[in-house]
Amino acid sequence: MKSDLPRLMAAHNLDALVVLGPDGLGAANTAFTYFTGATHVTNGTIVVKRAGEQVQTTLVHNPMERDEAAKTGMQLVSIANYKMQDIVRQMHGDRLAARVEFMRRLFADLGVSGHVGFYGVCAVGPTFAFLDALSREEFIDVVTEYENDVISQARKTKDAQEVALIRQACRLTEGVIGQTRDFLRAHPVKDETLVKTDGTPLTIGDVKAFIRREEAAAGLDDPGCIFSIGRDAGVPHSSGNPTDPIRLGQTIVFDIFPRLIGSYYADITRTWCLGHASDEVLQAYDVVMKVHDTLAAAFNTTRMSYEFQEQTCDIFEAAGHRTIRQDLALANGFVHSLGHGFGLDVHEPPSMSLKGMRPDEPLEIGTIITNEPGLYYPDKGWGIRVEDDYWCNPTGQFECLTEFDRDLVIPMPG
């Protein structure tokens, strides 16, 4: 969590962090919004400086965005103070050299020197060229890390305020899930297909439009969701074919992962069969829920995260299903990871994938992860995934943040 930053910076031998902007509009630069919160600061640079056991956080902002910058509570510096046009002129029109010179002056003013780590989500080419030029200068040592960098490590555990926001995102998301189920059940059935008032079939596209509207009304940002039926439900990241009709008895995989506006995500999946389900699906659902419940009870902070993936594969294989550890290209069986961390991004460390694919690490107090086992048989026309969110609370217990029921078969009225 953020309060770990002084310790982490010391452990990584860093004197300062620099998070490059912009935030990319729509808060895609989450290393940036980790410090600013959900404000309309689109342009800026964040400097975090270690000073003993404290950190000092400065936002260098565009003067047009001074009101938004003030909302962050950070120490502010207007970029206008640096008269970029003059610096460009002094550098004979070389804007890359001017940006390096700007950093030199800024760091001198802020007292930043030594080992400086760089972060953010930015355009690859310009950023590489900039850091490459900066690393040839003497006034700081540019530090970048391929994995497990300071900000990722801080973000891997959530503080009380972050957990509260994620809980809020879960509650609002469950509201939308419930409204969606009610919406489906409100449609009459003709020839095993849900129909609209004009007699035409209700489609995936209709349902997704409904979901988008309900998300907006709830104050949730919608990055798209997965609402796929039948064969498409058997392909984990198939988002669903908009023209497909909603038919009874088919598996529907509904994976919804919105966030509070510019802020924290929820990530929840339910599998539904409207009216009835086949015995094959009912049996497979029991296996998925057995894995789900077994792993939820098994989560702890002593085992490496990949061990939970191993345990998941053990159970599925014992039940006669093939798994991704047997074949990375597997299409029929359990074909993905058990879960993943999330927060300001929908996928964050830690991961629970196969050993070696990610840094080996235990889950920790403050971790928030998904638990989302699934079985996929596209050739048989079905798929199942059930996903809940868990938080490792300060006592080391894994609390389920998701409250929505896990019923597979949704009875249709009448």
Residues 104 to 143: which contact a second copy by CB under 8 A? 117-132
Query: Should residue 74 be labelled a site residue for a second copy when binding is judged by CB under 8 A?
Result: no
Report the alpha-carbon distance of residue 77 to residue 342 in Å, rounded: 31
The stretch near a second copy (CB under 8 A) out of 51-59, 65-73, 168-176, 178-186 is 65-73
Query: Should residue 26 be labelled a site residue for a second copy when binding is judged by CB under 8 A?
Result: yes
Query: Should residue 319 be labelled a site residue for a second copy when binding is judged by CB under 8 A?
Result: no
Q: Which is nearer to a second copy, 132 or 192 (CB)?
A: 132
Taking the complex as a whole, the smallest distance from the CB of residue 28 to a second copy amounts, in Å, to 3
Instruction: Specify whether the CB–CB gap between 217 and 226 falls below 8 A.
Output: no
Q: Which is nearer to a second copy, 87 or 287 (CB)?
A: 87
Query: Should residue 34 be labelled a site residue for a second copy when binding is judged by CB under 8 A?
Result: no
Q: What residues contact 187, with CB distance under 8 A and at least 6 apart?
A: 194, 195, 196, 202, 246
Q: Which is nearer to a second copy, 40 or 171 (CB)?
A: 40
Report the alpha-carbon distance of residue 311 to residue 146 in Å, rounded: 28
Q: Which residue among 7, 51, 63, 178 contacts a second copy (CB under 8 A)?
A: 63
Site for a second copy in 220-279 (CB under 8 A): 221-224, 226, 232, 235-239, 257, 261-262
Query: Should residue 31 be labelled a site residue for a second copy when binding is judged by CB under 8 A?
Result: yes
Instruction: Specify whether the CB–CB gap between 264 and 162 falls below 8 A.
Output: yes
Report the alpha-carbon distance of residue 241 to residue 198 in Å, rounded: 21
Q: Which residue among 56, 62, 294, 300 contacts a second copy (CB under 8 A)?
A: 62
Q: Please give the sequence-ordered ranges of beta strands (E in DSSP) within 186-281, or none if there are none.
A: 189-190, 193-194, 220-221, 226-229, 251-256, 259-260, 268-274
Q: Which run of H or E residues covers position 399? A: strand 398-400
- Classify residue 192 as left (phi > 0), alpha (psi -120 to 50) or beta: left
Q: Which is nearer to a second copy, 78 or 168 (CB)?
A: 78
The three-state secondary structure class of 324 is: coil
Q: Which residue among 11, 51, 80, 186 contacts a second copy (CB under 8 A)?
A: 80
Taking the complex as a whole, the smallest distance from the CB of residue 189 to a second copy amounts, in Å, to 26
Taking the complex as a whole, the smallest distance from the CB of residue 188 to a second copy amounts, in Å, to 24
Q: Which is nearer to a second copy, 93 or 394 (CB)?
A: 93
Q: Which of 226, 293, 274, 291 is nearest to 413 (CA)?
A: 274
